[in-house]
Amino acid sequence: MRTQVCIIGGGPSGLLLSQILHRAGIDTVVLERQSRAHVLSRIRAGVLEEGSTSVLRKAGVDTRMDREKIRHEGTLLSARNRSFRVDFTQHTGKAVYVYGQTEVTADLYAARDAMGGVIIDSVSNVMPHDLEGETPFVTYEKDDTEHRINCDLVVGCDGFHGVSRQQIPTSVRREYERAYPFGWLGVLSETPPVSHELIYANHSRGFALCSQRNDALSRYYIQCDVTDKPDAWSDEMFWDELRRRIPDDTADALVTGASIEKSVAPLRSFVSEPMQWGKLFLVGDAAHIVPPTGAKGLNLAISDVHYLSQAMVAYYAGDKDALSSYSETALARVWGAIRFSWWFTTLMHRFPKQSDLEQKLQESDLAYLETSVSAQTSMAEQYVGMPF
């Protein structure tokens, strides 16, 4: 088989890139290790920046998003049994939109199917070859048969555990990493959200987050030990712990119910540089991971796709240099989001052996955020997303 751009990984990055390139007349094949049902069952974060909604709109995947997304013009932060609000729209003129990554992925699959996009799922042993040469190709197995795709360019959209990043020699690749000493225990429940806006809670027992998918579906998280097993937390234990970490009036208003999903996620800051090597380009989680506190993971993947698709369209239009600055351009935005996500994570979580002094410093930082227009503007500007 031959294609112009072979995309490894059919998560949101790979599907969106394939969709945008196809609409520009560039041929792609997407290779996905899991089954489509598996990809569509993954529950991830749910906050889109305005810039992300614009890219999705230009890609023609906006109909359901625009009908169902919920506009949030601010967020609540709490500490010491009280909360305050940061108004995004007042400080930046922008808002964010609650619309689950699971829905974005479903919309992308539907759009790809409607255009006859080629997505080959349940493949194994995917391996790119000759990435420094003129004739790169990708091999993979499906149903015990080996296949080969000849292509011009290869894009690694295969997430943190993918095979693409590893192809960049260690003499060229530099990795920056911090694994946080805690995880998030997340619960999805068919209950009305406790608050119209998200609540990020700092507490001496650990962080908590009240989020949502729609007015009948809530998503809550509590900081936990990264080795905790979700099943070791009964629903009652989860709700009791959540109530302790949020202000009393919010806890009193919390509607609880059976969890329909419960999982533990580790928290990590990670960047691999450069994001391109020869004919290989990395996008999304394949190149960088943020802790979920700033809700930046999917948004960063979308800005990578935006930069790379623009460069590829220019490349195929005849600008042979168009691809050379992709890594530098994408990384500039990536590092901004890495820094913001690290800052917000550090401000809101309880660290092992955290002293009373450090707890007081966090609370003082939050008091500054509550009272300073400059601090709120800075936070709001980064939460709604830097322009791209």
Among 16, 26, 31, 45, binds ligand PHB (CB under 6 A): 45
Among 211, 269, 299, 382, binds ligand PHB (CB under 6 A): 211
Q: Which does 46 bind (CB under 5 to 8 A by kind): ligand PHB, ligand APR, none?
A: ligand PHB
DSSP letter at 54? H
33 binds ligand APR (CB under 6 A): yes
* Three-state DSSP state, 114: helix
Smallest gap from Cβ 15 to ligand APR, in A, equals 8
Piece of the chain touching ligand PHB by CB under 6 A; list 158-166, 171-179, 289-297, 307-315? 289-297
Report the C-alpha gap between 140 and 144 in whole angstroms: 10
Piece of the chain touching ligand PHB by CB under 6 A; list 19-27, 292-300, 322-330, 373-381? 292-300
DSSP labels for 342-370? HHHHHHHSPPTT--HHHHHHHHHHHHHHH
- Is 288 tagged catalytic? no
Among 39, 55, 79, 369, binds ligand APR (CB under 6 A): 39
96 binds ligand PHB (CB under 6 A): no
> What contacts 384, CB < 8 A, 6 or more positions away?
49, 50, 88, 92, 94, 95, 96
CB of 274 closer than 8 Å to CB of 296: no
- Is 220 tagged catalytic? no
Amino acid identity for residue 222 in this structure: I
345 binds ligand PHB (CB under 6 A): no
- Is 262 tagged catalytic? no
Piece of the chain touching ligand APR by CB under 6 A; list 50-58, 151-159, 169-177, 183-191? 151-159
Report the C-alpha gap between 342 and 331 in whole angstroms: 16
- Is 360 tagged catalytic? no
List the interface residues with ligand APR, window 287-316 (CB under 6 A): 297-298, 301
- Is 72 tagged catalytic? yes
Report the C-alpha gap between 348 and 365 in whole angstroms: 10
Report the C-alpha gap between 86 and 90 in whole angstroms: 9
Q: Which does 293 bind (CB under 5 to 8 A by kind): ligand PHB, ligand APR, none?
A: ligand PHB
Report the C-alpha gap between 376 and 77 in whole angstroms: 11
Is the preceding peptide bond at 352 cis, omega within 30 degrees of 0? no
* Phi, psi values for residue 385, rounded to 5°: 100, 130
CB of 21 closer than 8 Å to CB of 114: no
Report the C-alpha gap between 60 and 82 in whole angstroms: 42
Q: Which does 8 bind (CB under 5 to 8 A by kind): ligand PHB, ligand APR, none?
A: ligand APR
Piece of the chain touching ligand APR by CB under 6 A; list 11-19, 51-59, 187-195, 363-371? 11-19
186 binds ligand APR (CB under 6 A): no
117 binds ligand APR (CB under 6 A): no
366 binds ligand PHB (CB under 6 A): no
Q: Name the E strands within 151-258.
A: 153-156, 174-189, 199-201, 208-214, 217-224
295 binds ligand PHB (CB under 6 A): yes
* Contacts with ligand PHB, residue ranges (CB under 6 A): 45-47, 198, 211, 219, 292-293, 295
Contacts with ligand APR, residue ranges (CB under 6 A) = 8-14, 31-34, 39, 44-45, 101, 126, 157-159, 161-163, 284-286, 297-298, 301
The residues annotated with a catalytic role in the active site are 72, 200, 292, 296, 383
